[in-house]
Amino acid sequence: MIDALKTRLLLGAAGFIALALLVAAAGLTLLFERHVKDWIDAELNAHLDQLIAGVDKDPSGAVTVVTPPADPRFETPLSGLYWQVTFLNGGDVRSRSLWDFTLALPSAQGTDERSHHQSIAGPDGQSLYLIQRNVELPARLGHAIARFAVGRDEAEVDAAVWRFAQALAPFLLILAGLLIVAAWLQVSIGLRPLAAVRTRIADIRSGRTARLGTKFPLEVQPLAREIDTLLDARDKQIETARQRAADLAHGLKTPLQVLSGGIARIRTGGDSAVADDLEQAAHMMQRHVDRQLARARMQNGNALASADVADVASRVIRVLERTPLGQSRAWSLEVADGSYARIHADDLSEALGGLVENAVKYARSRVIISAADTPDWITITVSDDGPGIPSSKFGEVLQRGGRLDTSGGGSGLGLAIVSDIAEAWGGVVELGNSGGLFNVHLRLPRASSAPTI
């Protein structure tokens, strides 16, 4: 989710950066074009002033351009820089660069000291950027009115703007890359608290912590508080449901005991068939009650729980070795100190008690409890030298009420309850036969520290 959010933010930032740089490129190009045209205006006005100042009478007394502008491009045919003077009383004077082409100057009445910009057709299909000024000549030149025009090929202006845009593009691309990298850094740093929230939630799910806490930036703390509040509410709901299940199971247990007494009296009275039917139904109900009681006692995955495997196993052995069957078995405890499982000690005692009780019941002479550690897991193995279970029946005995031995009492829920406990704590129960022993492996997440209480 965070990666998708980061992608959307980066795509949005990249799109905005691209749009901003395109607008900047267009704006800078327009500014450059205006700057070029201002520079060309200044140059053409300077040529125009030189052209006006160069008008005088030639030796024959005719008014003409005696001293033309000095720029050599005016003398080069089709050079792109041109001038023309049109006398309203007749006659045109043109720069050599126009060759035999005459500019069609816009008509204007009277005189105007301001320069006017025009776009007109030029020689050789060129489009000219032209400035024109109508001037009344002095009295010694007969007060004649003349149109002075100086023009330049607009293609040169366009080429200059294009060269500027080409030179600007690499810098804008580099700037875009830098801005995108900056946006990526900003988004990554800005979303880092959300990544921390995700990590803490993963820690809660894996049991390394119980709540998010408040070690987040101010903007994220309300989210963390809401999640912690939700977790508190969930725990309360689970505890309420657990209590109700326990109350229900306990409430059914007493009537079942009364029912069992009634069944015994019916059998004594000689109605064995009815008693057998009722006893079978009572046993089924009893199995469900026992299962619900066992599930209700589970601690529901307290994230900070830790159980000392060696200590719990020792206590289970001390209880069962006092039983008649336990006194006749050889006991072996092969669990190193410092082996901690992430499970509540009561649940581990419940699970190990069921496994060891089964091992004592079916063992011929010995029962072994061992444990093996890995960085993430601890596997507790209860082994006995009894007849074992065929591998084809492993799935059956882990089911609810699954029993292969129907000769004795019991609900047939022992391994199923152990499996429920393991599953509640993120573990698993596995069965196996090896070396003449029947092995039940209880694999649980490993706790990193000893129990705090």
Domain of 368 in residue numbering reads as: 302-453
What secondary structure does DSSP assign to 302-347, as a single string? -TT--EEHHHHHHHHHHHHTTSHHHHTSEEEEE--TT-EESS-HHH
Reduced DSSP (H G I as helix, E B as strand, rest coil) percent helix, strand, coil of the chain, to 5: 55, 20, 25
Q: What is the pLDDT of residue 404?
A: 43
Please report whether residue 227 resides in a domain.
no
Q: Which of 120, 137, 159 is the last residue of a domain?
A: 159
**All residues at 6 or more sequence positions from 325 whose CB lies less than 8 Å from its CB, including other chains:** 360, 361
Q: What is the pLDDT of residue 299?
A: 54
Q: Which of 138, 159, 180 is the last residue of a domain?
A: 159
DSSP E strand boundaries for 137-228: 145-153
Q: What is the pLDDT of residue 195?
A: 76
CA 117 from chain centre, in angstroms, equals 59
Q: What is the pLDDT of residue 33?
A: 86
How many percent of the chain have pLDDT more than 70? 84
Please report whether residue 448 resides in a domain.
yes
Cα angle 431, 434, 436; round to 5: 120
CA 421 from chain centre, in angstroms, equals 35
Please report whether residue 246 resides in a domain.
no
Please report whether residue 221 resides in a domain.
no
Residue-wise pLDDT tens digits, 203-255: 777 666 777 777 777 777 787 788 888 888 877 887 777 777 767 766 776 67
Query: Which two three-digit tokens encode residue 429?
Result: 């129960």
Q: Which amino acid is at 204?
A: I
* CATH code assigned at 323: 3.30.565.10
Residue-wise pLDDT tens digits, 162-195: 898 898 889 889 998 899 888 888 888 877 777 7
> What is the rounded distance in angstroms from the CA atom of residue 171 to the CA atom of residue 161?
16
Mean predicted lDDT score pLDDT of the chain: 81
Q: Are 95 and 83 in contact (CB under 8 A)?
A: yes
Please report whether residue 78 resides in a domain.
yes
CA 66 from chain centre, in angstroms, equals 79
Q: Are 112 and 145 in contact (CB under 8 A)?
A: no
Q: What is the pLDDT of residue 406?
A: 40
- Rounded mean pLDDT of 260-270? 74
Please report whether residue 376 resides in a domain.
yes
Please report whether residue 234 resides in a domain.
no
Residue-wise pLDDT tens digits, 328-369: 999 999 998 888 998 888 888 888 988 998 899 889 999 999
Q: What is the pLDDT of residue 109?
A: 56
Total number of domains constituting the chain: 2
- The answer, yes or no, to whether residue 256 has pLDDT greater than 60, is yes
- The answer, yes or no, to whether residue 301 has pLDDT greater than 60, is no
Residue-wise pLDDT tens digits, 9-67: 888 888 888 899 999 889 998 998 888 888 888 898 898 989 888 888 888 778 888 88
How many percent of the chain have pLDDT more than 90? 13
Which band of pLDDT confidence, cut at 50, 70 and 90, is reported for residue 292?
A: low
Please report whether residue 208 resides in a domain.
no
> What is the rounded distance in angstroms from the CA atom of residue 208 to the CA atom of residue 200?
9
Query: Which two three-digit tokens encode residue 190?
Result: 């800005």
Which band of pLDDT confidence, cut at 50, 70 and 90, is reported for residue 303?
A: low
Q: Which of 95, 126, 159 is the last residue of a domain?
A: 159
For 41, half-sphere exposure in the C-beta direction (CA atoms, 13 angstrom radius) is 12
Which band of pLDDT confidence, cut at 50, 70 and 90, is reported for residue 379?
A: very high
- Rounded mean pLDDT of 436-443? 91
**All residues at 6 or more sequence positions from 300 whose CB lies less than 8 Å from its CB, including other chains:** 235, 238, 239, 242, 424
What secondary structure does DSSP assign to 73-140, as a single string? GGGSTT-SEEEEEEETTS-EEE-GGGTT----PPP--S-EEEEEEEEEE-GGG-EEEEEEEEEEPPGG
> What is the rounded distance in angstroms from the CA atom of residue 114 to the CA atom of residue 44?
13
- The answer, yes or no, to whether residue 396 has pLDDT greater than 80, is no
Residue-wise pLDDT tens digits, 89-126: 778 888 998 888 888 887 765 566 677 888 888 898 88
- How would you class 97 by CB atoms within 10 Å of its CB: exposed for 0-12, middle for 13-18, buried for 19 or more? buried
Q: Are 439 and 382 in contact (CB under 8 A)?
A: yes
